Amino acid sequence: MFRAVILDFDWTFNTSRMYYARFDEVSFEVLAERFGCSAAEAERKMQEVKEKTLSLTSAMRYIGLDSDEFYDEVASRMDICSLLTEDTRLKEVVLVIRGMSLKVAMLTNSGRSLLKRALDALGCPFEHFDFVVTSSEVEPKPSLEPFRHTAELLRCDPEEVLYVGDRISSELKPAKQVGMKTVLIGSDSHNEESRWIDWALPDIYQLPDLVRSLQ
């Protein structure tokens, strides 16, 4: 019996291609300024490190950049309101699950300022969640720490938590390693990694039905 659901943000809750195309553009622009190189070189450098660290945020920390400062800068340069529009179905996903007496948290590697602006634009602000945990407060995924920390905030054992995300090696695997059950959103699926996936859904909108069937 589950008592809480933890949702990832990037490519799980928000899947706007336009938003991520602009995010990449701005990110490499900001990183290029920090490194004193071209945006293309910054992208190459980050890709190399990301192969080791499995996420952009942990790659930044690995090379000694302040990821919080980076996300603040990216947030200030992105015109989020022109990239994301309100999607009432997202708010419904959260409220329907909370209506089943489950707690809902968001756990993202994004920084708090960028996430706040994105969730406001999508019409599902922080107050709809029981907890919002970002890389401004905890180590980024795939570290096990943010999973344990969020379960503690929810006052749940990991075994009582359903983790919902789009990346197997950097999210579902660590979630399962701490004892949570996992839902894969989208198609990041490889046979050899299927042991980290308990359920798979094409998109987040199907989640309330799945959660209901597990109650």
For 97-133, letters b (16+ CB in 10 Å) and e give beeeebbbbbbbbbbbbbbbbbbebbebeeebbbbbb
Q: How far is Cα 201 from Cα 207, in angstroms, rounded to an integer? A: 8
Residue 8 or 68: the one with the smaller Cβ distance to Mg ion is: 8
In the complex, least distance from residue 1 CB atom to Mg ion, rounded to whole angstroms: 26
Return left, alpha or beta for 2; rule: phi > 0 is left, psi -120 to 50 is alpha, else beta: beta
Q: How far is Cα 17 from Cα 104, in angstroms, rounded to an integer? A: 25
Q: How far is CA 184 from CA 14, 77, 116, 137, in A?
A: 14, 31, 24, 25
Q: How far is Cα 141 from Cα 53, in angstroms, rounded to an integer? A: 9
In the complex, least distance from residue 41 CB atom to Mg ion, rounded to whole angstroms: 25
Regarding 11 and contact with Mg ion (CB under 5 A), the answer is yes
The span of 73-81, 95-103, 160-168, 187-195 binding Mg ion (CB under 5 A) equals: 160-168
Regarding 10 and contact with Mg ion (CB under 5 A), the answer is yes
In the complex, least distance from residue 166 CB atom to Mg ion, rounded to whole angstroms: 4
Regarding 73 and contact with Mg ion (CB under 5 A), the answer is no
Residue 78 or 106: the one with the smaller Cβ distance to Mg ion is: 106
In the complex, least distance from residue 154 CB atom to Mg ion, rounded to whole angstroms: 19
Tell me the β-bridge partners of 131: 105
Regarding 166 and contact with Mg ion (CB under 5 A), the answer is yes
Of 4, 6, 7, 8, which lies in the binding site for Mg ion, with binding defined by CB under 5 A? 8
Residue 160 or 170: the one with the smaller Cβ distance to Mg ion is: 170
Interface ranges with Mg ion (CB under 5 A):
8, 10-12, 166
